[in-house]
Amino acid sequence: MTGSTSDLTGKLAIVTGASRGIGAATAEALAARGAHVVLTARTADALEAVEERIHAAGGSATIAPLDLAESDSIARLAAAISSRWEALDILVINAAMLGSLGPVTTMDAKEFNKLLTLNLLASQALLANFDPLLKRSTAGRVIAVTSSVGRNPRAFWGAYGASKAALETLVGAYGEEVKNLSPIRVAIVDPGATATAMRAQAFPGEDPATLKSPTVVADRITALVGEDFETGKWERIN
C-alpha cells in the first residue's frame, strides 16, 4: 500500500446485497465519502430505506431491485448502468445466502444449487458484465466479501464454505487476468464475526452485542477502495 484517499466524489459504486447488514452499511459509507452508489438486492422496500438514509445524509444513490440469481438480471443491470455512466469504479460483491448447515452427505441438491448460483455463478456474471465498465475506470476496485470457512473447513458448513472458497479462487483469477491490462485491483475481505442477520441465523443463541457492528466492516471496505494495493489482497477485519 502506497497511500489512500478518502474522497470518492465522482466515483460510481455498485454494492450487492445492499438492503441490510454489511451491504447496507457499506453503501452508506461509500456514499458518505462522495460516491454515487447503485444499491442492489431483492427487497425494494429495504433498498428504499437505505437510499433514504443516504439522501438524508447528503449522499447520492440509485436503487436497482433485482434477483442476482435470475438468468439475465445482471446483464440487464449492466446495460442500464452503461447507458447512463461511462465507467464503474467500485464493485462490492457482498450478496450471499447461508443455506442450511448440515453434513455434506445430506445436502439438499436443490438448495445447494441455489446457493452456488447466488454465491458463485452470480459473481462470475457480475465480473463478466461489468468488466468493460471497470476497465474504463482510472482505478477500478473489486471487493469480494468472503468467510473464514472458505479457507478453513468447518463441520456442517460445507455448502457455504465451498461457495466462498470457489468465490475467492474465481475473483482472484479475474484479478490476475486484468492486473497488467488495466488499473483494476481486486481484494477479498473476510469480515469476521459481525452482527448481521446471517450471523444470527448461523448462531441463534449468540448475543449480537458481543459482535462488531457492520459499520466497522463498511468503514474498512470504504477505506480500502481508496488505497493503492496489490491485486489479490486478502484481509480479515478484526
**Which residues are known to be catalytic?**
160
In a domain, 3, yes or no: no
Per-residue pLDDT at 2 exceeds 50: no
Q: Could you read off the pLDDT of 121-133 as tens digits, one per residue?
A: 999 999 999 999 9
Distance CA 187, CA 201 (A): 26
Inside any domain, residue 189: yes
Cβ-Cβ contacts under 8 Å for 2 (sequence gap 6 or more): 228
Instruction: Summarize pLDDT for 15-34 with one digit per residue, the tens.
Output: 999 999 999 999 999 999 99
3-state secondary structure of 136: coil
**103 falls within a domain:** yes
DSSP string, 55-89: HHTT-EEEEEE--TTSTTHHHHHHHHHHTT-S---
The pLDDT confidence band at residue 6, using thresholds 50, 70 and 90, is confident
Tell me whether residue 5 is in a domain: no
Contact 165, 190 (CB under 8 A): no
Collapse the DSSP code of 107 into the 3-class scheme (helix H, G, I; strand E, B; otherwise coil) and give the result: coil
Averaged pLDDT score across all residues of the chain: 96
Q: How many helical (H) and strand (E) elements, i.e. helices and strands, does the chain have?
A: 8, 7
**String of DSSP letters for 172-224:** HHHHHHHTTTSS-EEEEEE--SB--HHHHHH-TTS-GGGSB-HHHHHHHHHHH
Domain ranges, residue 61: 12-236
162 domain residue, yes or no? yes
Can you read off the three cell numbers belonging to residue 36?
454515487
Domain harbouring 104, CATH code? 3.40.50.720
159-172, pLDDT tens digit by residue? Answer: 999 999 999 999 99
| Cα 22 to the center of its chain, rounded Å | 9
> Within a domain: residue 4?
no
Q: Is residue 7 included in any domain, yes or no?
A: no
Q: Is residue 231 part of a domain?
A: yes
Provide the number of structural domains found in the chain.
Answer: 1
